[in-house]
Structure 1
Amino acid sequence: MDSPHGAAVKAENFGLKGPRGWAFRGVGIDAAPGSLLAVVGPSGTGRTCLLLALTGRMKPSEGHAEVAGHPLPKRMAAVRRVAALGPVSGVNDLDQALTVAEQLREGALLQRRYEGPLRALLRPRGERRATTAARIDAALAAAGLDLDSLPKGPRTSVRDLDRLEAVRLSVAIALMGSPQLLALDDLDLKLSGAERADAWAMLRSIADAGTTVLAVCSQAPDGVQVLHTSPAEPEAKTAAKPTAEPARKPGTETAAKPAARTGTAPGAEPAAKPETKPARKDTAEHAAKDTGTAETKPAAESRADGEAQTEAKTPADTADDDTKGADDALAETGRA
């Protein structure tokens, strides 16, 4: 693999705004070719967005930057041709279903198809294979990945690699295109202290070979140019102004509504009383209707009076009635 010439990276008042506000803002960078640059900051401070913007994958919103002499955002396509991505979650993840050898061949094929010169496609097949094999070996050596040390060698599944081995494999695939800028995200994620030291040693050797390296991390070692990111300040919101009451014209006043009153003013007509219906009485007629043995009120009263009169008669009254009845009978007989 030919030793690439690193890209100088410069930025001033660099910022990117998304749907939810500023991802990062006011970033300034001045990195010489072959520099090892670390982007340090807590998660959620726009570290990955800054990495993608500097490699031509995201369009910035303000400020200006320059990578290998190509201004951003005017020449994003040119920046993409000279900048390669190492491991960036959600962007260029490794295929877990492939073996390491298959992943390397796929990376070399894609690099030759989309990033290599067109004249390379016109070379004989044997020459192309030899060139590809040499490119893969050089990239593996630069990334520090020894295929023979893997459990099944080149036939080891990608899913069986540990975190540091996966990082080395991604870096090797990125280096096949001889980039001037190499960018990595979350370099020290899930790495022990010794593994972090090995990862930074790998990046330092790549930078010493001439490639500018930009790595996002949570903590950078000594001797690395550090760029700190911090949460973007929220935009100032305009306070809602209170609604002002309309000015009254001179000589006009709004009459106040009278309060509810319970009494009647002197001289005023009394309010009409609500019509009330007499309460229904439970008479014998209604009760009789319910039982089916109803009697009219006059008949019931007559029978009650007759019974009362009968009960009120004394024995003397009964004898007088019998005598009067006998006299009437004799009188009728004499007339006959």
Structure 2
Amino acid sequence: MVEGLGLKGPRGWAFREVSFRAGAGALVALEGPSGSGRTCLLLALTGRMRTHEGHAEVGGLPLPRRMAAARRIAALGQVPGVSELDPSLTVAEHLRERALLQRRFDGSVRALLRRPGTRAAETRARIDEALAAAGLDPAALPKGERTSVRDLERLEALRLSIALALIGRPRLLGVDDTDLKLSDADRAAAWALLRTVADSGTTVLAVCSEAPADALRITTVASDADTAGETGENGESGEPAPDEKTADITDTARAATAGPGAKTIAEDDITEEGADDALAETGRA
């Protein structure tokens, strides 16, 4: 549930008066042009950015009051500047790194006391489960799991980022730039993948330039800073922010990986805990 949610920066509102309801396992498309606040909205709903008006509830957790708890149930796929793939690493290295981080942050004491062989088998099983859910077959890649990210096709990289997020078995998955630079066939395959993830019970938030007909469409529109947000017939919202806010949105997303004390679009938008969690998303903690 999202009611009247808004986030303001020094140049105006990144988004405002966003209201909609989506149940578990819903596919929600955050649609709009680049610079219209889509990424900020995605980060706010996954507990990575602090909003300034309105409220939301994610998995029964009120935002922005329970941001840290929301981050524990919400995972990010690709989000430029926040949870990006490292082009110099291989598929296997990304998977191994994410699995180790998952064990570090979520593993119980009992799990840590298990035999190394048992832990390794459980880790491999979780990785294989995530790869299958993301529709990524390492054997079909040019060099198998030793394929570098820089050698992946756009759709393959998207599948890998989603697989990494699914290793944590989240209840909410956020993906940025879902349809960016994809052919029509690859775009259809990407949405089919996200529908499958949603059908499994994980709610999906997907930023895109054009939403599919079967998704819950939330439209963001860039406008002048002093223009009030307008809510559409289906709870879709306009965004009273200047065209120049594109740089603000990008810089804010990047600030999430800058560590504690990072400067953001507005003071305290991203908490120190949020910055640390964003570092953990990328495996650079």
1:200 aligns to what? 191
Q: Residue 213 of structure 2 aligns with which residue? A: 222
Q: Confirm or deny that 1:105 pairs with 2:57.
A: no
Matches within 5 A, 1:4-23: 10-23=1-14
Please list, as runs of the form range in 1=range in 2, the aligned pairs for 1:88-103 lying within 5 A after superposition. 88-103=79-94
Which residue number corresponds to residue 45 of structure 2? 54
* Offset from partner CA, 1:164-194 (integer Å, 9 cap, x none): 0000000000000010000000000010000
Is the contact made by 2:46 and 2:70 (CA closer than 8 Å) also made in structure 1? Answer: yes
Distance 2:72 2:108 in 1: 11
Question: In structure 2, what is the equivalent of residue 176 of structure 1?
Answer: 167
Unaligned runs of 5+ in 2: 228-285
CA–CA separation in structure 1 for the residues paired with 2:76 and 2:55: 21
**Structure 1 residues 46-75: Cα deviation after superposition (integer angstroms, max 9, x where no partner):** 000000000000000100001001001110
| Alignment counterpart, residue 163 of structure 1, candidates 131, 150, 154 | 154
The aligned runs of 1:1-336 (5 Å cut-off) are 10-235=1-226
Tell whether the 8 Å contact from 2:11 to 2:225 is kept in structure 1 after alignment. no
* C-alpha contact 1:81 1:115 (8 A) present in aligned 2: no
Quick one: structure 1 residues 56 and 232, their matched pair in 2 at CA, closer, same or farther if it must change by over 3 Å? farther
Q: Which has the larger radius of gyration?
A: 1
Q: Determine what percentage of the aligned residue pairs are the same residue.
A: 66
Structure 1 runs not aligned, ≥5 long? 1-9, 237-336
The code of the aligned residue for 2:58 comes to: V
AA aligned opposite 1:124? R
Normalised by the length of structure 1, the TM-score is 0.66
What whole-Å deviation, never above 9, does each CA across 1:140-162 have from its counterpart, x for those lacking one?
Answer: 00000001100011111111001
SS of the counterpart of 1:31? coil
Q: Tell me the CA shift for residue 117 of structure 1.
A: 3.3
With normalisation by structure 2, the TM-score equals: 0.78
How much has 1:95 moved relative to structure 2?
Answer: 1.4
What are the superposed Cα offsets for residues 283-319 of structure 1, whole Å, 9 maximum, x if unpaired? xxxxxxxxxxxxxxxxxxxxxxxxxxxxxxxxxxxxx
Q: Once superposed, what is the RMSD of the aligned Cα atoms?
A: 1.1
Aligned residues: 227
Cα distance between partner residues in 2 of 1:163 and 1:118: 39
